[in-house]
């Protein structure tokens, strides 16, 4: 289709990909009301008496939801390309998970939540080995579970601070001054160390994480923060392969700035203990960088004695076509810490041996995760393997990205004349890895309008950054679903304004 | 027994309280090996390849645990007076919770974890109303769930910062400077506001919480912090009713210091947006203060325009004989924010209407709690009501505290002479509310020795502070269990050294 010329009829039509593999789901969207429908509006009002409901999209009927389809309380059935902010790995009500739940041997795991750091269940080491460690990043044999993404990153930062200070004091016992000053938040016990992050990053919203988050003002406004260095994240041109030279220059500029900031913050007396980065900036607008950028960054971290923390909370779990997005970098030693949550169902982080805190209770809390989530994860990993879902994601991802490329250049027959329509809506920045894709829309208002229209046509999408639409389907999103989506989405773009 | 005189035989003997109400549990501890036994040691070694295991006590067989009894992997059955760091409300494998799990209508709640802030399930408003709001603190009709105690406090702090700044800017739109500076962690967008906390406090271990935690150096060492004011928590003499005058003086001293610090930090340019306090400092050593202290503190907060946050993560859920420990203060308007977790099974915080963030996405994360935990909580609250567990706790608590008082003055027949023995071990500081009790031991080494001996006799206890032993049984811990415990504990003290 690359040789298509203006004038050709190119409204996107689904290829005949049969629906076979997601047997337990529906055969397409089915809309009965606009969204939110009357029942959702009623419930939103009810919940408004209890909470801020400004972010509520609609209320869901999770019992009736299946596979890639989310059903709402008004009976609308939508193809879910957002999956609860990218956190549903194998779709709704997967039979394997329902089966797991109905196994009486598993009941006790749900009913008795242990304090994992002191009184773990007998199965805990084996479950970790079979689940999280079976997909451990290269070079890592240690993992610490946590309840959510923010706690994972907060504790990963603590692990880096502890590692850095132990290194600095030559692994000697902390001084009496260290011990007494830390109790009252003062140096040297609470040292002026920093974590370097990148503009556009999102690492969570608790106070430590928030100091490394720079995606939207609404996340950060009015919350005290730390004076930590913030490096520029490369602003690349897409498609990447068309702009290799410009992009390499931009990445070199950012890497130079990284080194400058490390030196500057050391001189300021706030040395950089660790660098945290997402393989693809997700919340910040699906910003990519090249494997070469990450390899260089990893080397800079090593050179300056900073720990290197790769935050895979949104990119991890298979959606890029590899289990971890950082695997695309092709490195044996990609990171010192890799944090996860969302699709992994449990939060936590892997770390290299030397990043393990030297003493008990330094990285600790009551629950330290939740074994019932580890149980689900084991089964999710079984399904991923049994159904070769990483290959499926790679295949669906290619179809999705190609479809998005085509939409960008698509021209449409209107009446008798031919008009180039979409370029005024889409800005030619389609990009992605696996099904972890995004496009940019001309402005925020247009994006909002398109997202709402898509929803009313039975396609649930999410935004990110200033004017991107992000695609975050489950791993069971097949080529069939890609084409179903592209047909409807094309239709919406065609009819826009 | 108050008129007991030296010479009387007072080895503590259980009163004949019949075991009736906790039908599903065992009839007493049963020890087969010392703890940790060989299987636990083997598993600890295995887990040591994956994690720091310095805090692991032993491995558990949660399937076989029942009610107040925790069974380990070596077949030892212990009376659990620590309950997973105070987080198991109605004992292990409670039939009501198992029944809930086996209801097929509930499966979907476990299998499909929603992003509650955008796509809640149909049942969410009703579940909140039936569960959390049915036990809401006085004056509060709003609640926000979170995944754990730390996230609850982090977000409560953010709510106080947002509230304070909105008040300060007269509820006007943030300036462009606010918006641009917050993106790079700088004032005025990220303002120099502070949260006041107390020496000995524990509010969690993520970076914001940790800046308000001052219980043990191991929690804080090497982690950067904020320059926030730390007030003295009253150091009272026990039993409180014997030292009312001295204690009132001590509390007045602390309150005066609170006001001084508020003024001082305002002058420093770091105004106190909120004050956070536990009704009983738990991790810090079970430090109590009088209702009058808390009432005065609440008034000081109001006078200086600071929000007042009561952290009930450990004290909440009924263990003090009231559902919330702050109910003992007898106030209609006890707080602006009350946070919870542990026995509530879900984290979260209640807040007054004006503490709700003015815009969506200011208090937000992917999961915002977990509806499956709300489901369990609903059932736990049913059980608490059906079985009148708060009254039971009050009754058991009286028996426990009286028993501890007696142990403190207990004298023991040794050979033919009578020797006062326990005063050299126990330091006369038995204290508590409900079953939330503690005693102090002469020194840390003796405490460790007693805790290990107790465990080998089938009693699982925890420490807190520098030399306290804390009692944190489940709400189904009856008088029967109190006397069972006291008998064994007396025996351990009697044989000590």
Dist CA B366 CA A462 (whole Å): 13
Q: What is the mean pLDDT of residues B355-365?
A: 96
- By mean pLDDT, which of A112-121, A484-493, B98-107, B280-289 is the weakest? B98-107
Q: Residue A112 is nearest to which of B56, B62, B165, comparing CB atoms?
A: B62
pLDDT band for position B7 (50/70/90)? very low
- By mean pLDDT, which of A67-81, A176-190, A481-495 is the weakest? A481-495
Residue of B nearest to A90 (CA): B112
Q: For residue A307, is pLDDT > 50?
A: yes
CB atoms within 10 A of CB A1: 9
The half-sphere exposure of A191 on its side-chain side, counting CA atoms within 13 A, is 25
Q: Of B366, B443, B448, B495, which is the active-site residue?
A: B366
Give the gap in angstroms from C-alpha A434 to the nearest C-alpha of chain B.
Answer: 22
Q: What is the mean pLDDT of residues B422-435?
A: 88
Q: What is the architecture, at CATH level 2, of domain B38-94+388-495?
A: Alpha-Beta Complex (3.90)
pLDDT band for position A13 (50/70/90)? very low
Give the gap in angstroms from C-alpha B113 to the nearest C-alpha of chain A.
Answer: 8
Q: Residue B61 is nearest to which of A122, A144, A222, comparing CB atoms?
A: A122
What would the two tokens of residue B187 be? 């004032």
Instruction: Find the helix or strand (DSSP H, E) in which A439 lies.
Output: strand A436-440
Taken as a whole, chain A contains a residue count of: 497
State whether B50 and A226 contact (CB < 8 Å): no
In eight-state DSSP terms, residue A275 is E
> For residue A423, what pLDDT is reported?
65
pLDDT in tens, A349-359: 999 999 999 99
State whether B111 and A128 contact (CB < 8 Å): no
Q: Strand locations in A222-366, DSSP E?
A: 230-231, 272-277, 307-311, 337-340, 347-351
Dist CA A330 CA A39 (whole Å): 50
Dist CA A207 CA B185 (whole Å): 11
Instruction: Find the helix or strand (DSSP H, E) in which B264 lies.
Output: helix B244-267
Dist CA B472 CA A64 (whole Å): 41
Dist CA A427 CA A409 (whole Å): 10
pLDDT in tens, A217-273: 999 999 999 999 999 999 999 999 999 999 999 999 999 999 999 999 999 999 999
Interface test with B, best of A166, A221, A226, A284 (most B CBs within 10 A): A221
Q: Residue A112 is nearest to which of B59, B93, B218, comparing CB atoms?
A: B93
Fold agreement (B38-94+388-495, B113-384): no
Task: Name which of B29, B111, B46, B115 is nearest B360 in CA terms.
Answer: B115
**Residue A9, phi-psi category: left (phi > 0), alpha (psi -120 to 50), beta (remainder):** beta
What are the sequence ranges of the domains in chain A?
Answer: 38-94+388-495, 113-384
Average pLDDT, chain A: 93
CB B312 within 8 A of CB B338: yes
Specify the pTM.
0.94
Q: For residue B413, is pLDDT > 70?
A: no
CB B367 within 8 A of CB A345: no
pLDDT in tens, A360-410: 999 999 999 999 999 999 999 999 999 999 999 999 999 999 999 998 876
Instruction: Find the helix or strand (DSSP H, E) in which A194 lies.
Output: strand A194-198
Q: Of B311, B336, B370, B440, which is the active-site residue?
A: B311
pLDDT in tens, B64-83: 999 999 999 999 999 999 99
State whether A147 and B143 contact (CB < 8 Å): no
Dist CA B327 CA A324 (whole Å): 49
Looking at the DSSP bridge assignments, the partners of residue B338 are B310, B350
Dist CA B256 CA B244 (whole Å): 18
Task: Name which of A428, A441, A486, A493 is nearest A468 in CA terms.
Answer: A441
> For residue B10, what pLDDT is reported?
37
Active site residue B202: yes
Q: Residue B60 is nearest to which of A51, A119, A342, comparing CB atoms?
A: A119
CB A429 within 8 A of CB A238: yes
pLDDT in tens, A124-174: 999 999 999 999 999 999 999 999 999 999 999 999 999 999 999 998 999
Q: For residue A300, is pLDDT > 90?
A: yes
pLDDT in tens, B153-183: 999 999 999 999 999 999 899 999 999 999 9
pLDDT band for position A480 (50/70/90)? very high
Whether the link from the prior residue into B93 is cis, omega within 30° of 0, is no
Question: What phi and psi, each to the nearest 5 degrees, are found at residue B29?
Answer: -65, 160
Largest CA distance in chain B: 84
- Position of tokens 């019949």? B18
ipTM exceeding cut-off 0.90 for this assembly: yes
Say if residue B32 is exposed, middle or buried (CB neighbours under 10 Å; 0-12, 13-18, 19+): exposed
Task: Name which of B249, B291, B250, B294 is nearest B276 in CA terms.
Answer: B294
Task: Name which of B51, B241, B125, B379 is nearest A364 in CA terms.
Answer: B51
Q: Where are the alpha helices (DSSP H) in A62-116?
A: 83-86, 95-102, 107-111
CATH code reported for the domain at A113-384: 3.40.640.10
Give the gap in angstroms from C-alpha B244 to the nearest C-alpha of chain A.
Answer: 29
């Amino acid at each position: 289709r690359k040789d298509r010329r203006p004038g050709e009829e190119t409204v996107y039509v689904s290829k005949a990909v049969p629906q076979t593999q997601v047997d337990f789901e529906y055969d397409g969207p089915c809309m009965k009301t606009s969204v939110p429908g009357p029942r959702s509006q009623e419930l939103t009002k009810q919940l408004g008496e209890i909470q801020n409901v400004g972010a509520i999209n609609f209320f869901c009927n999770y019992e009736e939801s299946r596979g890639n389809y989310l059903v709402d309380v008004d009976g609308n059935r939508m193809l879910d390309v957002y999956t609860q902010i990218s956190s549903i790995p194998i779709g709704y009500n997967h039979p394997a998970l329902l089966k797991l739940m109905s196994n009486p041997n598993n009941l006790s795991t749900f009913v008795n939540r242990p304090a994992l750091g002191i009184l773990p269940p007998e199965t805990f080491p084996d479950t970790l080995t079979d689940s999280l460690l079976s997909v451990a990043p290269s070079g890592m044999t240690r993992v610490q579970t946590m309840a959510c993404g923010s706690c994972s990153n907060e504790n990963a930062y603590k692990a880096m601070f502890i590692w850095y200070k132990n290194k600095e004091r030559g692994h000697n016992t902390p001084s009496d001054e260290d011990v007494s000053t830390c109790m009252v938040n003062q140096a040297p016990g609470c040292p002026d160390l920093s974590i370097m992050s990148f503009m556009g990053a999102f690492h969570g919203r608790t106070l430590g994480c928030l100091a490394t988050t720079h995606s939207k003002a609404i996340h950060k406004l009015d919350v005290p923060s730390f004076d930590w260095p913030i490096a520029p994240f490369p602003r690349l041109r897409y498609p990447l392969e068309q702009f290799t030279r410009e992009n390499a220059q931009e990445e070199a500029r950012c890497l130079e700035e990284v080194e400058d900031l490390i030196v500057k913050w050391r001189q300021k007396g706030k040395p950089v203990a660790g660098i945290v980065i997402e393989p693809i900036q997700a919340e910040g607008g699906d910003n990519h960088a090249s494997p070469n950028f990450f390899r260089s960054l990893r080397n800079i971290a090593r050179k300056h004695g900073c720990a290197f923390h790769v935050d895979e909370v949104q990119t991890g779990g298979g959606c890029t076509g590899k289990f971890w997005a950082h695997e695309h970098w092709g490195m044996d030693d990609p990171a010192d810490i890799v944090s996860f949550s969302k699709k992994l169902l449990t939060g936590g982080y892997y770390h290299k041996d030397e990043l393990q805190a030297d003493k008990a209770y330094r990285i600790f809390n009551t629950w330290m995760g939740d074994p019932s989530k580890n149980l689900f994860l084991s089964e999710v990993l079984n399904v991923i393997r049994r159904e070769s879902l990483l290959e499926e994601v790679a295949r669906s991802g290619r179809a999705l990205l190609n479809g998005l490329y085509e939409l960008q250049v698509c021209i449409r027959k209107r009446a008798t004349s031919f008009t180039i329509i979409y370029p005024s809506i889409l800005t030619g920045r389609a990009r992605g890895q696996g099904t972890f894709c995004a496009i940019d829309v001309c402005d925020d208002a247009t994006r909002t309008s398109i997202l709402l229209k898509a929803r009313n046509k039975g396609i649930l999408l999410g935004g990110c950054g200033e004017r991107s639409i992000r695609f975050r389907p489950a791993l069971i999103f097949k080529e069939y679903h890609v084409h179903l989506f592209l047909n409807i989405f094309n239709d919406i773009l065609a009819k826009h304004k």
